[in-house]
């Protein structure tokens, strides 16, 4: 791993990625742990003491936020399409199984954030969380980094937003309510589809879609508005009109304040892993996907617009609407990959 080379004293400055990585972790601050419990069997945790935790989104980004906090790298949700897989290669870790089972934990994230918020140079900008990997993935149940992060944001009345597939966010409901009393708080849950079979194969480590919608329902019941990022809409597997209708109906019935559809995106790292999955589970679709994504990581514009129009029409029918970033007081977090950030700049997002 890249930090092994840092620890043994050899240089890491022979490439921009290596140089950037050398600034993320202290050379003497990595502990590797495994836990022989059913929920963590086969998973290795690399506990690091990060040197920074508040990260600037590149200026070319189209995101409605400028700063992010990511307490973890790698994700036990094991979503086969996850755009963040490529980031594991910067540590010489595998972007397939390794991304799902080699989890980097920034154990000092809460104290680093509190120090940043206390700085005279910090102007209280909005901070987005969960836009790279999920801050409420399974590891959070053991490491409990988010309570300290939320306490710091509450204490400094700093606006923030969270995007998650994890039901563990309900553990921190009281902290979210306290923060919402003093600052702007936005929460979004990711539910791209309600098809059970599709969920079991493409998002094997996540709570079921209906459990995530229970999170939306619970938050709404406690006065915390929650939007749904309908992501990803999976071409040919989750995009039939009846599937879109069922998903939007379920989102509306859960009490979501908004629904924002995003079509499957396949950047390097995620692309290879997704196609491996596709060849195993749906070999008949490989050719169609190769044609759809022949031009790059994104589905054709006409297809994205069609899905967006269909979802927005259904949302209006069921009494909810898409997030309006210009007028909504609570921002809907959007994954960082939609900034179309050049690969050379990706390290600044982590």
d(CA 240, CA 232): 14
The pLDDT value recorded for residue 34 is 86
- Give the SS3 label for residue 228: strand
DSSP state of 298: B
The pLDDT value recorded for residue 64 is 72
Examine the pLDDT at 349 and tell me if it is beyond 60: no
pLDDT-based confidence at residue 161 (cuts at 50, 70, 90):
very high
pTM of this structure:
0.85
Q: Where are the alpha helices (DSSP H) in the chain?
A: 2-7, 16-22, 97-101, 109-118, 140-143, 146-155, 173-180, 196-202, 209-221, 241-253, 270-281, 286-292, 301-317
Lowest mean pLDDT segment, chosen from 14-18, 268-272, 303-307, 327-331: 14-18
List, for residues 17-27, the tens digit of each pLDDT value. 333 344 455 54
d(CA 80, CA 32): 25
The pLDDT value recorded for residue 329 is 39
List, for residues 66-104, the tens digit of each pLDDT value. 899 999 999 999 999 999 999 898 888 889 999 999 999
The whole-number average pLDDT for the span 128-138 is 95
Kindly report the backbone phi and psi dihedral angles of residue 317, in degrees, each rounded to the nearest multiple of 5, phi listed first: -60, -40
The pLDDT value recorded for residue 17 is 38
Residues facing 33 on adjacent strands = 45
d(CA 29, CA 17): 20
Higher pLDDT, 8 or 325: 325
Examine the pLDDT at 253 and tell me if it is beyond 60: yes
Assigned token pair, 100: 């799902």
The whole-number average pLDDT for the span 254-260 is 96
């Amino acid at each position: 791993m890249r930090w092994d080379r840092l620890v043994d004293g050899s240089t890491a400055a022979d490439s921009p990625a290596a140089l950037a990585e050398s600034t993320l972790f202290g050379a003497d601050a990595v502990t590797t742990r495994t836990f022989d419990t059913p929920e963590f069997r086969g998973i290795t945790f690399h506990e690091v003491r990060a040197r920074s935790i508040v990260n600037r989104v590149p200026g070319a980004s189209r995101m409605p936020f400028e700063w992010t906090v990511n307490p973890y790298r790698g994700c036990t949700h094991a979503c086969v399409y996850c755009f963040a897989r490529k980031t594991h290669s910067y540590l010489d870790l595998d972007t397939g199984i390794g991304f799902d089972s080699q989890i980097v934990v920034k154990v000092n994230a809460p104290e680093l954030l509190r120090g940043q918020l206390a700085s005279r140079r910090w102007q209280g900008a909005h901070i987005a969380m969960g836009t790279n990997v999920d801050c409420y993935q399974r590891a959070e149940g053991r490491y409990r980094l988010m309570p300290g992060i939320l306490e710091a944001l509450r204490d400094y009345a700093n606006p923030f937003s969270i995007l998650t597939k994890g039901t563990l966010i309900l553990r921190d409901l009281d902290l979210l309510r306290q923060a919402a009393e003093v600052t702007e708080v936005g929460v979004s849950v990711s539910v791209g589809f309600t098809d059970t079979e599709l969920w079991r194969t493409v998002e094997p480590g996540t709570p079921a879609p209906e459990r995530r919608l229970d999170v939306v329902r619970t938050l709404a019941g406690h006065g915390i508005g929650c939007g749904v990022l309908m992501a990803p809409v999976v071409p040919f597997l989750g995009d039939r009109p009846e599937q879109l209708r069922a998903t939007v109906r379920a989102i509306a019935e859960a009490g979501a304040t908004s629904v924002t559809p995003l079509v499957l995106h396949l950047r390097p790292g995620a692309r290879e892993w997704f196609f491996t999955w596709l060849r195993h589970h749906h070999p008949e679709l490989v050719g169609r996907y190769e044609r759809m994504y022949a031009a790059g990581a994104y589905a054709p514009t006409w297809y994205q617009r069609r899905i967006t129009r269909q979802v927005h029409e259904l949302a209006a029918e069921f009494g909810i609407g898409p997030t309006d970033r210009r007028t909504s007081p609570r921002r809907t977090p959007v994954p960082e990959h939609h900034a179309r950030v050049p690969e050379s700049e990706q390290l600044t997002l982590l």
